[in-house]
Structure 1
Amino acid sequence: MNQRIDQFDRKILQLLQEDARMSHAEIGRQVHLSQPAVSERIKRLESQQIIRGYRAEVNPKALGYDITAMIRVSTQQGRPYAQYVAACPEIIDCYTVTGEDGAVMKVLATDVEHLQRIINELNAFGSTSTAIVLTTHVAGKVIAVPQADDKV
């Protein structure tokens, strides 16, 4: 953990995660720092790769993706899937995990037939298990900066 993270940085990180378009002047008002001081802190957080980027949050349903699914893939050695996953626009998250499954993926599909096509393609890399998301209770949660005395 970087030692240079203080209460101002914590608040700046929280505000940017809640609204990445918030102006540096508005952030300054909320954290009680000048706009140049906020800009310098944000620049430092970016250079340290604490802030990795900024992006728009897009509603998949508005684009026609009516299904969100979690697909687990039990990969077999010698059947790499990373290149396929990187090229497949419907796979929006992919994690290599411990346990019986080699990977867990978050997938968007327009309908059941579309999801079936993606599953069929993933079956080339190992057996799959799919769960369709019914409700999302937490997504895109703000990442808190742990305090030095925080215990997990």
Structure 2
Amino acid sequence: MDHIDAEILKELQQHAKVSMKELATKVHLSAPAVIERVKKLEEQGVIEGYHAKVNLKKLERTIQAMILFKSIDCKSLAAFCHAHPDVLECYRVAGEISYIVKIATYSVETLEQFIDAAMPYGTPSTNIILSSHHKTIIQTFSQ
């Protein structure tokens, strides 16, 4: 991967719907050359997919929380989280805590329902997210 591939990745991370013609202009290559480079990045698994960023507030999921679990049944907790519609992310981690789950839900009541439903799988510790910052662009070369 060279500097041009890094620029292509940067642009695609900012604007996944950019046309190949516009992307070619931004990285100073022809459209066919950019198409070939993007195809190679996809084939190599560097680009895994293209995603839409969804505004959770517009979907009325105004309560976000990180829930830390001391799990007594890791496989069942993982299955529960994968099936639950409010779960955004689920991490199995090493240490005193065995799982960290990020959820986005509609209200404190639905948060409580999630916690109650998850109790058979372990002891939760809930942290309401007040604000957050997401790094959306991964730099491939040192600047």
- Whether the TM-score (by the shorter chain) exceeds 0.5 is yes
Residue number in structure 2 paired with 1:82: 78
Find runs of 4+ consecutive structure 1 residues off by over 6 angstroms.
none
Q: Does 1:117 align with 2:113?
A: yes
Residue number in structure 2 paired with 1:129: 125
Superposed CA offset, 1:29-85 (max 9, x none): 111111111111111111111111111101011011010111111112565322111
Where does structure 1 lack aligned partners over 5 or more consecutive residues?
Answer: none
Residue number in structure 1 paired with 2:95: 99
The AA in structure 2 aligned to 1:42 is: V
Shift of 1:124: 1.4
Residue number in structure 2 paired with 1:7: 3
The AA in structure 1 aligned to 2:128 is: I
RMSD: 1.6
The AA in structure 2 aligned to 1:15 is: E
Q: Does 1:142 align with 2:133?
A: no
Count matched residues: 143
The AA in structure 2 aligned to 1:8 is: I
Please show how residues 4-83 of structure 1 align to structure 2 within 5 Å: 5-77=1-73, 80-83=76-79
The AA in structure 1 aligned to 2:27 is: V
Aligned mates of 2:74, 2:2 — CA distance in 1: 46
Aligned mates of 1:63, 1:35 — CA distance in 2: 37
Aligned mates of 1:18, 1:62 — CA distance in 2: 21
The AA in structure 2 aligned to 1:142 is: I
The AA in structure 1 aligned to 2:87 is: I
Of structures 1 and 2, the one with the larger relative CO (CA 8 A, separation 6+) is: 2
Q: Verify the 8 A CA contact 1:73 1:122 in the aligned structure 2.
A: no
Q: Verify the 8 A CA contact 1:79 1:126 in the aligned structure 2.
A: no
- Aligned residue for 2:57, secondary structure, equals helix
Where does structure 2 lack aligned partners over 5 or more consecutive residues?
Answer: none
TM-score by length of 1: 0.88
Aligned mates of 1:84, 1:16 — CA distance in 2: 34
Aligned mates of 2:102, 2:124 — CA distance in 1: 13
